[in-house]
Amino acid sequence: MKIDQVTTPALVVEAAVLEANLTSMAAALPGPRLRPHVKAHKCTSLAARQKAHGHHNFTCATMAEMEGMVRAGLGEDLLLANEVVDAQRLGALVRSGARVTLAVDSPATIATAVAGGVEEVVIDVNVGLPRCGCDPTSAGSLADTARRRGLEVRGVMGYEGHIVGLPDRAKRIEMIRPAMEALLAAHADVGGDLVSAGGTGTYDINGWATEIQAGSYALMDTAYAELGLPFQQALWVEATVISVSPGWAVADCGLKALSMDHGNPTIEGSEVWFCSDEHVTFAPGQPVKVGDRVRVIPAHVDPTVACHEKIFVVDGDDVLETWPVDLRGW
């Protein structure tokens, strides 16, 4: 099968670029130093490739991701880096033999873990991103509460999400130190083996965490491309030109096929004007005609992948494999 036979819009990954990205990260963060975050690709076939590069422990964002990873035989050590208010589905995974760790940041979420049958937790600490996580000074008392309730506390996690995407590397280096110092102070009170943090944008400057939760590095997007990282764009949305007017053209890749939260997508050599439900309107850098194919590169990979049911893995024009995006949903 050739790529021009695929119905568009279609999610496409260049196999050689993906492999190069996985190899580069495995060299930088071998084995347990990386806990790949599957929310970036939502695909157990890709997670299996990451495991083949030596990464056996994974981060998930949803219970559906946790369940899908276990079904795929990738449940050796899964961290749900998110709070939930009903952990029954996670308890079922524990009883099936998977290792499940849940992030908690309050007595209520600790009680949820106990009631659901989860046995291991990490204390989620706020290190500067106003999202989930307890105050660093409260982490020790929460760990004590968890242990009194019979839970194993593996350590702490804290996501420096307010830092990972900053284009200025010097600014990232400057800001990460106080964030991680707060996390280490919490860890001193909590104990355990894990200090889990980080992302693609800080994978090589976060020397405090015992494991890094990077995910976007495998496929990349235009937002992370601005950071000068040693990972190349492996993914795009293949689209077809469906209308041409003087000065602009339209392709069949709109809001339902890619995420816009980080801005417009990119079409190389062209200027993207705007996206609507089913369309991307752009000023082409060279003449195009109806039926031509264009590569639309998203600004944010994670929610773009979640728009699609499958990934076409290619070598040039040849489709090598089709991978289901089987970790979608909640």
239 lies in some domain: yes
225 lies in some domain: no
96-135 burial, b at 16+ Cβ within 10 Å, e below that, comes to eebebbbbbbbeebbbbbbebbbbbbbbbbbbbeeebbbe
188 and 235 both lie in a single domain = no
Task: Give alpha helix (H) positions in the chain.
Answer: 15-28, 44-52, 63-71, 88-95, 107-116, 139-148, 169-190, 222-225, 301-305
166 and 71 both lie in a single domain = yes
Q: What is the CATH number of the domain that holds 179?
A: 3.20.20.10
Tokens of 243: 């209308």
67 and 108 both lie in a single domain = yes
Structural domain including 286 reads: 3-11+231-324
- Altogether, the residues listed in the chain come to a count of 330
Sort residue 194 into left (φ over 0), alpha (ψ -120 to 50) or beta: beta
Q: What is the domain count for the chain?
A: 2
219 lies in some domain: no
pLDDT tens by residue, the chain, 330 residues: 999 999 999 999 999 999 999 999 999 999 999 999 999 999 999 999 999 999 999 999 999 999 999 999 999 999 999 999 999 999 999 999 999 999 999 999 999 999 999 999 999 999 999 999 999 999 999 999 999 999 999 999 999 999 999 999 999 999 999 999 999 999 999 999 999 999 999 999 999 999 999 999 999 999 999 999 999 999 999 999 999 999 999 999 999 999 999 999 999 999 999 999 999 999 999 999 999 999 999 999 999 999 999 999 999 999 999 999 999 999
151 and 249 both lie in a single domain = no
pLDDT, position 146: 98
44 and 93 both lie in a single domain = yes
293 and 191 both lie in a single domain = no
Q: What is the CATH number of the domain that holds 305?
A: 2.40.37.20
Question: Is residue 293 helix, strand or coil?
Answer: strand
Q: CA–CA separation, 163 vs 167, rounded Å?
A: 9
329 lies in some domain: no
200 and 268 both lie in a single domain = no
How much is the pTM? 0.97
242 and 174 both lie in a single domain = no
92 and 144 both lie in a single domain = yes
pLDDT, position 300: 97
Q: Which residues, at least 6 apart from 198, have a Cβ–Cβ distance to it below 8 Å? A: 159, 160, 164, 206, 209, 211, 212, 213, 214
44 and 173 both lie in a single domain = yes
Choose one of 164, 187, 213: the last residue of a domain.
213
pLDDT, position 85: 97
72 neighbors 38 (Cβ within 8 angstroms): no
125 lies in some domain: yes
125 and 199 both lie in a single domain = yes
47 and 195 both lie in a single domain = yes
283 lies in some domain: yes
